[in-house]
Amino acid sequence: MKMYVISDNVDTQTGMRLAGVEGVVVHTQSEIREALESVVNDKNIEILLVTEKLAKNFSNEIAKIKLGMRLPLVVEIPDRHGTGRTPDSITSYVKEAIGVKV
Q: Taking residues 70-77, what's their average pLDDT?
A: 86
pLDDT digits (tens, 9 = 90+) for 13-50: 888 888 889 999 998 888 988 999 999 999 999 999 99
**Count of CB atoms within 10 A of residue 33's CB?**
13
pLDDT band at 91 (very low <50, low <70, confident <90, very high): low
Q: Which SS3 state, helix, strand or coil, does residue 46 take?
A: strand
Sheet holding 22-25, edge to edge: 22-25, 2-7, 45-51, 73-77
Rounded Cα distance between 48 and 41, Å, is 12
* pLDDT for the residue 101: 62
Q: Taking residues 58-81, what's their average pLDDT?
A: 82
* pLDDT for the residue 92: 62
Going along the chain from its start, the domains and CATH numbers come out as: 2-98 (3.40.50.10580)
